[in-house]
Amino acid sequence: MAAETHFKNFHLWDREWDDDAQSEWEELLASPETEGSFVLQVEKGTVVAGVWELLADERAMAALGEGAEAQPIDVIVGGPPCQGFSMAGRRNPDDRRNQLPWAFLEFVERLDPKAVVIENVAGINMAFRANGGVEAPFMQLKAALETTGQEGYVVQAVEVNARHFGIPQNRPRMMLIGVRRDLEAARVAACHDRSLDLWRSIDGFEALRRGEDAELGRLLVPRLGSRRHGIARLAEVDAFDAMRDLDDQGFKSGVDYRRKGYRYASAMRDRRQRAPKNHNSRAHSERVTERFAFYHFMADKGIPSRVLGIASGSGGEAEVRAAVVAELERNGLDPEMSLPKRQTFHEKGEGLIDVVCRLATKKHTQRVVSKEGPAPTVVTLPDDYVHPTRNRIMTVRELARIQSFPDWFEFRSKETTGSHRRREEVPQYSQVGNAVPPIMAEAIGELLVDLLDAG
């Protein structure tokens, strides 16, 4: 499913997904069965295979190698899961998490790129602390990358957050950025104090905000007041700015994109489109719509959304109500608070405690995305976050805007899938949630261009 999206945006480009496009896609998918090789997929630029399968396909790897001889590969980027990575456990066939980092490194070894980028979640930050006297997996992966290939790589660990790059999202991530040792640029990659094991985008962000010209910060984090893409990339962007020009039907009419609050939306907008792609509101039951409206009321009144989870707890009715009352009072709230009339969730005679118990849910992570400040990390489950102003979850396009995907980028395949199929399927919402925000990826790319050009 993710490969279909890649094929649409990076092979078909502006072409519509018509019968001819569908035929090309089906031909691509059929190529391993008909030819016994992924060569056709390599030639088309989108390979639909596990990395171990590709590495085992000598014809396909030879085709990649021939392409690299004609035009050397600048960079390989990936996000192999590092939790199970261990120099000691690399030959453990039972731990699937151990296999992908080694497959990634073998891919790097065979194609010999000038630069390598590895991305992971911020929780992997534990890799920079002692772990029972054994060096943690992420640092082991860093050490392995340093000795990969004939020359090895100069590797810098960085901790980045999307909010520091003009993206309306609080999304911390870890990265390893490596430049091949034989390049002059490798010395530039170590342009800051090498006694530091970890560089953080917050440090560069704050240094530039103060007017300092910290070298790696200058290269990686956009300058204060930069108008690239029509937005001030060093300024933090509110979540609602990402979707300010969208309503349930599509683009709002009469929007003045020159106004300050619309700069980010203007940067994302594709003026050729009359209607946004991937902007389909999900259908909710009446009870779910009521709950979403109540979430907005709770957010306005400072009522923690976790009370709905408490109300769904086990035990008798009296026991559950007592637990809800205790939680509300703990937060300085009156359980019998009268509710405003003409609200979606209002029923005659109900107090706060009644509505909480009636709209109880086990979805403990659901909450309204605030209009002010960056959004929380976009995840693969669409019903975790409620729209800042509407009683529904956000569309694929709205979450894509928060991730900084421009409107021309079209997500393919079905929108979502059932929980039991999530191990095998990667629908649109998952594609958005799993992605590296493009504007942040662009900043990494600009850094690599500077480093490689310097060599």
Mean pLDDT value across residues 56-69: 89
Task: Tell me the residue length of the chain.
Answer: 455
Q: Which of 383, 375, 381, 373 is nearest to 422 (CA)?
A: 381
pLDDT at res. 5: 97
DSSP annotation of 269 reads -
Q: Is 21 exposed, middle or buried (0-12, 13-18, 19+ CB in 10 A)?
A: middle
pLDDT at res. 102: 87
pLDDT at res. 236: 84
φ, ψ at 181 (rounded to 5°): -65, -25
In angstroms, rounded to a whole number, what is the distance separating the alpha carbons of residues 334 and 9? 53
Mean pLDDT value across residues 4-30: 93
Please give the mean pLDDT across all residues of the chain. 85
H helices of 71-184, where? 96-111, 137-146
pLDDT at res. 70: 84
User: Do residues 52 and 103 make contact, with C-beta atoms less than 8 angstroms apart?
Assistant: yes
72-107 tens-digit pLDDT: 899 999 988 776 665 554 545 556 666 888 899 999
The DSSP-derived string for 5-20 is HHHIIIIITT----HH
In angstroms, rounded to a whole number, what is the distance separating the alpha carbons of residues 387 and 401? 13
What is the number of other CB atoms lying within 10 angstroms of the CB of residue 43?
13
Mean pLDDT value across residues 273-295: 93
pLDDT at res. 325: 93
pLDDT at res. 127: 46
What is the number of other CB atoms lying within 10 angstroms of the CB of residue 58?
10
User: Do residues 111 and 67 make contact, with C-beta atoms less than 8 angstroms apart?
Assistant: no
Could you confirm whether domain 73-238+413-455 is CATH 3.40.50? yes
217 has pLDDT over 90: no
Tokens 């009522």 — which residue? Answer: 303
Name which residue leads in pLDDT, 433 or 95. Answer: 433
171-186 tens-digit pLDDT: 999 889 998 998 876 6
* β-bridge pairing 153-161 and 198-200: parallel
pLDDT at res. 192: 47
Name which residue leads in pLDDT, 405 or 182. Answer: 405
User: Do residues 42 and 63 make contact, with C-beta atoms less than 8 angstroms apart?
Assistant: yes
Q: Where are the domains of the chain?
A: 1-71, 73-238+413-455, 286-394
φ, ψ at 240 (rounded to 5°): -65, -25
Angle made by CA atoms 209, 213, 216, in degrees to the nearest 5: 100
pLDDT at res. 194: 46
pLDDT band of 226, cuts 50, 70, 90:
low
- As a whole-number percent, the residues of the chain with pLDDT over 70 amount to 85
In angstroms, rounded to a whole number, what is the distance separating the alpha carbons of residues 296 and 389? 8
The DSSP-derived string for 380-415 is S-GGGEE-SSSSSBPPHHHHHHHHT--TT----S-S
29 has pLDDT over 80: yes
User: Do residues 188 and 174 make contact, with C-beta atoms less than 8 angstroms apart?
Assistant: no
pLDDT at res. 193: 43
pLDDT band of 215, cuts 50, 70, 90:
low
pLDDT at res. 400: 98
φ, ψ at 71 (rounded to 5°): -140, 95
pLDDT band of 228, cuts 50, 70, 90:
low
Name which residue leads in pLDDT, 203 or 180. Answer: 180
340-354 burial by CB neighbour count: b if 16+ within 10 A, else e? eeeeebbeeebebbe
φ, ψ at 98 (rounded to 5°): -70, -25
φ, ψ at 224 (rounded to 5°): -60, 130
In angstroms, rounded to a whole number, what is the distance separating the alpha carbons of residues 64 and 183? 22
106-157 tens-digit pLDDT: 999 999 999 999 998 876 655 444 445 556 677 788 889 999 999 999 888 8
Terminal-residue alpha carbon distance, the chain: 38
419 has pLDDT over 60: yes
pLDDT at res. 313: 86
346-389 tens-digit pLDDT: 777 788 999 999 999 988 888 999 999 999 999 998 898 999 99
Backbone torsion region of residue 230, taken as left when φ is above 0, otherwise alpha when ψ lies between -120 and 50, otherwise beta: left
In angstroms, rounded to a whole number, what is the distance separating the alpha carbons of residues 212 and 209? 7
- As a whole-number percent, the residues of the chain with pLDDT over 90 amount to 49
30-62 tens-digit pLDDT: 988 777 899 989 988 899 988 889 999 999 999
In angstroms, rounded to a whole number, what is the distance separating the alpha carbons of residues 430 and 405? 14
